[in-house]
A and B are shown apart, each in its own frame.
Chain A
Amino acid sequence: DGGITQSPKYLFRKEGQNVTLSCEQNLNHDAMYWYRQDPGQGLRLIYYSQIVNDFQKGDIAEGYSVSREKKESFPLTVTSAQKNPTAFYLCASSILGQGNIQYFGAGTRLSVL
């Protein structure tokens, strides 16, 4: 079945450690996005990519990094510079120019040990 797969579902980070969240889509979508969700808050955009080998910072990019080496993959690294990484992370993808409806993965919950 076509869709967006995020892994792992749960992730724990130690102090000073970098961790990478995986996002893969087989929908042949052009654009991919990473959002952070905190309790009681909406989705805040971290990074997005409209084309392979290109990406732009969102509203809260500090402490995060991404890559887009393949159309179907958009991994997010939470670096040690992100001092408050505990959150629910959502990946999405869309076809640009067709209403830009974003389809979301099931999310990764990151906690700090």
Chain B
Amino acid sequence: GQQLNQSPQSMFIQEGEDVSMNCTSSSIFNTWLWYKQDPGEGPVLLIALYKAGELTSNGRLTAQFGITRKDSFLNISASIPSDVGIYFCAGQQNTNAGKSTFGDGTTLTVKP
């Protein structure tokens, strides 16, 4: 099946720093989604992207749908301790088919 390469695998940053992570694929996706998972909980949607080149913000989070439709980026500005968790990207090739392919996640640790 399709694979998403998500990087970096983990990040250790100081509170207040900005964070960048990305997902790449050899396949084209029509939708990109970014989720955050807290320990022992299910993932929660952060941002959804539906159009190539689209740049969308949600508070301190900004995500972009790559022009080639094979990648997506998530940036977090001015990180705070509650940003700690695992961030997943997910891509969909056919919105109506109901299937998403998930990256392996980026584990973020924020030091106060």
Contacts and interface: CB of A to CB of B under 8 A. Distances in A.
B98 A99 contact: no
Interface string B5-47: 0100100000000000000000000010101000011111100
A97 to B, nearest CB: 5
B105 A104 contact: no
Contacts, number: 66
22 contacts: A6-B42, A31-B98, A33-B98, A35-B102, A41-B104, A43-B88, A43-B102, A59-B1, A92-B42, A96-B96, A97-B95, A99-B48, A100-B95, A100-B96, A100-B98, A102-B45, A102-B90, A102-B100, A103-B45, A104-B42, A104-B43, A109-B40
Interface of B: 1, 4, 6, 9, 31, 33, 35, 40-45, 48, 50, 88, 90, 92, 95-96, 98-100, 102-105
